[in-house]
Structure 1
Amino acid sequence: MISVIIPAINEEKTIGSVVTIAKANPRVTEVIVVDDKSFDNTVSEAKLAGATVITSTKIGKGASMRDGLLVSSQEIVVYLDADLGKLNADAINILTEPLVNEQADFVKARFSREAGRVTELVARPLLSLLFPDLSQFAQPLGGIIAGRRTFLQKVSFEDDYGVDIALLIDMHLLGARIIEVEIGEIVHNMKPWHQLTRMSKEVSRAILARAMKLSRTSLDDLETISVIRDYMDDAIRDTIRQLRKMAVFDMDNTLLQGRFIELAAKSFGFHKDLIDIVTRNQDSYLITKHIAKLLKDKNIADLLSVADAIPLVDDAAHVTKVLKERGYVVGIITDSYDCIANHIKIKIGADFVMANELEFSQSIVTGEVKVPSYFCRSDTSRCNHNFCKSNALLHATVAHNIDLRSVVAVGDSENDICMVRIAGIGVSLCSSNEALKSIADYRIDEPRLAQLLDFAN
């Protein structure tokens, strides 16, 4: 009788409970999770809970919603968010009752939560100006909805943050009977701060595009819209300035235009040994231990001379300075050695380093290395690796009392994937790793960091 569709990306912690609630409803005949190429265990958790899982044809919530509609079979369709940490067990009945009783064609959920900035500063003012009949809705940008297939098949699913407001307007323009129902309190992840400006632009674009098709806008309206968006941008910037923020960088091939251990291998003549260690071992801990032995009997001056021979990304110091002026704590998280990372930290003016600790005696490398516990997997880890930079990042955010959503993480390789994925803003820099590029929020394809300043406000 009812199809439930759940667009999802990297929601392994909540997707199972959302699917379970949907499956428990006797009216629900199918639960379809449309996975947006998640990098975590979202797919396995959804399948374990009993959902049918398909992969979205295109990155973006709107595409996932459209794909789910195409493969679903029932006349009544419910869309749920995948990140719901708390949802009323009766929510699906509340959403669909007006449809079952022929009282509505499209139903939006109203729930107990303070309206977000984009709703208050962009959506509501624009709806009041251009679509006043819709300004009554408490959560016009909410994604928890239900509708008749016959109506949903006639609307356009935007591929960005404008999808939910666009559906509301399109349903209104189709003459659908629209009501809003109270489903109680929900708990879900708030949008990261860096996405608010983009969200406001995409929401306003969706509203304006539909108004212009109806010739509902004048030059005065456009001027008002511009003022609204400028106000939103200013409000976001003011909020961001008050946040505690962090920027973390990988070192090799990110801050440095090369890898320390590779140049050391060539300089000290152990390149073949290095290749043997990497190819013969799968365990990153063992690789780290074995490579350290290759540096035995080298002194600190030998190592720093190798580091100095690798050029820095030429604007690293400047970008670090600007980030710190904007209130960022700047750090280096690397699986290289602390003596090298601290040397680079001083060069660029960073605040902290998290790295493997190479052991010295009388300034000579002993061949031993300590892997700090902050790299190790714990109960708070966000991945399944025993040793991972993402664990170090979590440790750093706790130590500096900074929300993970207020972190920018930059890396280039497979070892950076988890760190980049869990940060509020994940950036791939000159990466050849397709997995890293696919999960990063931004890609920089030249060895310069200046582009960071465009979105790290």
Structure 2
Amino acid sequence: MISVIIPVLNEGATIRQVIKVIKKTARVIEIIVVDDNSTDNTVEEALKEKVRVITSSQRGKGISMREGMMAAKHDIIMYVDGDILTYPENLVELLTDAIVNDEADFTKSYFERQAGRVTQLVAKPLLSILFPDLAHFEQPLSGMIAARKSLLKQVHFENDYGVDIGLLIDMHLLQARIREVNIGKLENAMQTWEQLSKMSREVSRTILRKAESIPVQNLETLGNINIIREQMEFSILESIDKLQKMVIFNLDETVFTQNYTYLAALAFDKEDALYQILEHYSDPVIRLERSAALFQGRNLAELLEVADSIPVTPDIRHVIRELKKRGYVCGFITDGFECVANHMKNKLGADFAFANRLHLIHSVSTGELTIPEYFMDGNNPSATYDKSNILKYISDKYHISPQNVIYVGNGESDRVMLQEAGVGVAYHPQFVEVETMADKVIEDICMAPLLDIAQAGSAVRKNNRWPSKKVMRNIGIGSLAAVATAGLIYLAAKQIKKAFEADRDDVDVKALKPA
């Protein structure tokens, strides 16, 4: 009658208890444990309960669920997780009665638990916009479900955190009768920031992909979706119970060793146009918008290739890793593009990135830019663009005092942040004024001294340490380095441009340029 499938990965400590609970049902069942190539004793423990164990052909929960369904002999399929020790003894009945009695085709559980941040901040808001008929579900991401096998054969199993919401949406699109059932109170381990962040991306990606066939009514809907995704990235910070310490690096000035905007303009033959913008426009918003327009038609791969060509501060990965071990949440701030900042965030192991949003359609830049609220003072209608507003944003939204923030920068635009953050660290400062406003100065080419500063937890403000280096030019979006560094930028840009031109047979890069 019922096939109970348990996808598992390294759950040797709990799998036997889960199986014993399921066996307490009075219904005729088979139990299939689908091992996702565990490296512990999961398989050995499951076999002690004399159940069928199969090995997934490829790691991933979605594949395990699909292959378990394919191996099932009965018409009703039930899925449960293998790491929960508080299932009720009548779990099988709770999940399958409605299907057995022909009252539903698909059942999805809900239960009492710790607040589900991805559910509240991503899944439900996106469903309310794109699939309003599903917005009422208490826990759309629940993995304890049951369904008719005939329907499961028609759906797609995502192979990541999007699998559960994907099944719910597919069942809805198949017009299946769906019922949500209460299975009591469950306890499971709280997930880390990295897991929650990954989950939010994969859940939102699945919902948006499932909604591709639904016409978007207006730009406001798109804007709401972007806000939801953005909210998740930063509000997950609240889920870290003991969050008290944060380090923010200026991506352009302290992580990249060369200026991204200038290097990209140089690589794409837009150097002169960039200089014209910086020379004729003083308003930072206009500068940013017109600079973004230079990259119209450039695809994401090209933009990220420029980022990957820029050397980073030698030990930045190690420093970020060590800071996180000490309880700091680490992230980047930049006047540049969100797609580049997020790429570097993932590449270097940071937790978040504050940046401007370059609009991409089918992964190609439209040349349009959206400046997020955290760079503007929402309480002041006449306020202008200012990165330092981020400290107030963090304080208001996440209740993290600026005194608990270490800010690392070196440009003229960093002066306010260096002064208002709890500890302002000037990394090779370009101006005397910047140096005098910082609490600490790092003269070393590496970032390792920051670990000592963070360890101290506070800093004594000191005056001038050493004369500023001669600055070639301040371009507003992020100061260019000294003349010698500019030479390296130029050579690196020429190398990128040469690589683009070599690929013309495959992709006509010139055709991507705006008219």
Under TM normalisation by the shorter chain, which class is it?
Answer: 0.5 to 0.7
Map of 1:221-300 to 2, 5 A cutoff? 221-240=221-240, 242-243=242-243
Corresponding position of 2:191: 191
Corresponding position of 2:116: 116
Q: Please state how far the C-alpha of 1:17 moved relative to its aligned partner.
A: 0.9
Counterpart contact for 1:5–1:77, Cα < 8 Å: yes
| 1:11 to 1:234, Cα distance in 2 relative to 1, 3 A | same
Counterpart contact for 1:7–1:61, Cα < 8 Å: yes
Corresponding position of 2:41: 41
Counterpart contact for 1:34–1:56, Cα < 8 Å: yes
Corresponding position of 1:208: 208
Corresponding position of 2:411: none
Corresponding position of 1:141: 141
Q: Which amino acid aligns with 1:208?
A: L
| 1:29 to 1:205, Cα distance in 2 relative to 1, 3 A | same
Counterpart contact for 1:130–1:217, Cα < 8 Å: no
SS in structure 2 of the partner of residue 212 of structure 1: coil
Corresponding position of 1:87: 87
Partners of 1:26 and 1:239 lie apart in 2 by 40
Map of 1:362-441 to 2, 5 A cutoff? none
Q: Please state how far the C-alpha of 1:222 moved relative to its aligned partner.
A: 2.0
SS in structure 1 of the partner of residue 31 of structure 2: strand
Q: Please state how far the C-alpha of 1:68 moved relative to its aligned partner.
A: 0.2
Partners of 1:326 and 1:17 lie apart in 2 by 35
Partners of 1:41 and 1:217 lie apart in 2 by 52
Establish whether residue 328 from structure 1 lines up as the match of residue 312 from structure 2. Answer: no
SS in structure 2 of the partner of residue 183 of structure 1: strand
Q: Please state how far the C-alpha of 1:27 moved relative to its aligned partner.
A: 1.4
Please list the CA deviations of residues 191-217 of structure 1 after superposition, one character each: whole Å capped at 9, or x if unmatched.
Answer: 332111111111011111111123356
| 1:71 to 1:196, Cα distance in 2 relative to 1, 3 A | same
Corresponding position of 1:173: 173
Partners of 1:325 and 1:188 lie apart in 2 by 28
Q: Please state how far the C-alpha of 1:59 moved relative to its aligned partner.
A: 1.1
Counterpart contact for 2:243–2:327, Cα < 8 Å: no
Counterpart contact for 2:193–2:237, Cα < 8 Å: no
Partners of 1:192 and 1:238 lie apart in 2 by 12
Q: Please state how far the C-alpha of 1:320 moved relative to its aligned partner.
A: 4.3
Q: Which amino acid aligns with 2:38?
A: S
SS in structure 1 of the partner of residue 139 of structure 2: coil
Partners of 2:85 and 2:10 lie apart in 1 by 14
Q: Which amino acid aligns with 2:75?
A: E
Corresponding position of 1:105: 105
Partners of 1:198 and 1:148 lie apart in 2 by 30
Q: Please state how far the C-alpha of 1:100 moved relative to its aligned partner.
A: 0.9
Q: Please state how far the C-alpha of 1:23 moved relative to its aligned partner.
A: 2.3
Q: Please state how far the C-alpha of 1:243 moved relative to its aligned partner.
A: 4.3
Counterpart contact for 1:244–1:327, Cα < 8 Å: no
Q: Please state how far the C-alpha of 1:318 moved relative to its aligned partner.
A: 4.9
Counterpart contact for 2:108–2:145, Cα < 8 Å: yes
Q: Which amino acid aligns with 2:79?
A: Y
| 1:28 to 1:13, Cα distance in 2 relative to 1, 3 A | farther
Gaps (5+ residues) in structure 2?
A: 246-311, 329-446, 449-515
Partners of 2:68 and 2:217 lie apart in 1 by 34
SS in structure 2 of the partner of residue 86 of structure 1: coil
Q: Please state how far the C-alpha of 1:235 moved relative to its aligned partner.
A: 1.2
Corresponding position of 1:55: 55
Q: Please state how far the C-alpha of 1:186 moved relative to its aligned partner.
A: 1.4
Map of 1:61-76 to 2, 5 A cutoff? 61-76=61-76
Q: Please state how far the C-alpha of 1:244 moved relative to its aligned partner.
A: 8.6
| 1:126 to 1:25, Cα distance in 2 relative to 1, 3 A | same
116-125 or 184-193, larger mean C-alpha shift: 184-193
20-29 or 74-83, larger mean C-alpha shift: 20-29
How many positions carry a matched residue from both structures? 265
Q: Please state how far the C-alpha of 1:240 moved relative to its aligned partner.
A: 4.7
Q: Please state how far the C-alpha of 1:110 moved relative to its aligned partner.
A: 1.4
Partners of 1:233 and 1:329 lie apart in 2 by 18
Q: Please state how far the C-alpha of 1:189 moved relative to its aligned partner.
A: 2.5
Partners of 1:51 and 1:244 lie apart in 2 by 47
Please list the CA deviations of residues 390-432 of structure 1 after superposition, one character each: whole Å capped at 9, or x if unmatched.
Answer: xxxxxxxxxxxxxxxxxxxxxxxxxxxxxxxxxxxxxxxxxxx
Please list the CA deviations of residues 21-63 of structure 1 after superposition, one character each: whole Å capped at 9, or x if unmatched.
Answer: 2223231421001000001111111111222111111111100
Partners of 1:202 and 1:217 lie apart in 2 by 24
SS in structure 1 of the partner of residue 147 of structure 2: strand
| 1:318 to 1:158, Cα distance in 2 relative to 1, 3 A | closer
Counterpart contact for 1:113–1:186, Cα < 8 Å: yes
Corresponding position of 2:12: 12
Q: Please state how far the C-alpha of 1:88 moved relative to its aligned partner.
A: 0.0
Partners of 2:178 and 2:242 lie apart in 1 by 39
- TM-score, normalization: structure 1? 0.54
Map of 1:356-367 to 2, 5 A cutoff? none
Partners of 2:50 and 2:190 lie apart in 1 by 27
Corresponding position of 1:127: 127
Q: Which amino acid aligns with 2:326?
A: Y
Q: Which amino acid aligns with 1:136?
A: H
Q: Which amino acid aligns with 1:109?
A: S
Partners of 1:29 and 1:323 lie apart in 2 by 48
Report percent identity of matched pairs.
48
| 1:24 to 1:217, Cα distance in 2 relative to 1, 3 A | farther
Gaps (5+ residues) in structure 1?
A: 246-313, 331-448, 451-457
Corresponding position of 1:369: none
Partners of 2:134 and 2:5 lie apart in 1 by 25
Q: Which amino acid aligns with 1:175?
A: Q
Partners of 1:329 and 1:121 lie apart in 2 by 24
Q: Please state how far the C-alpha of 1:319 moved relative to its aligned partner.
A: 4.1
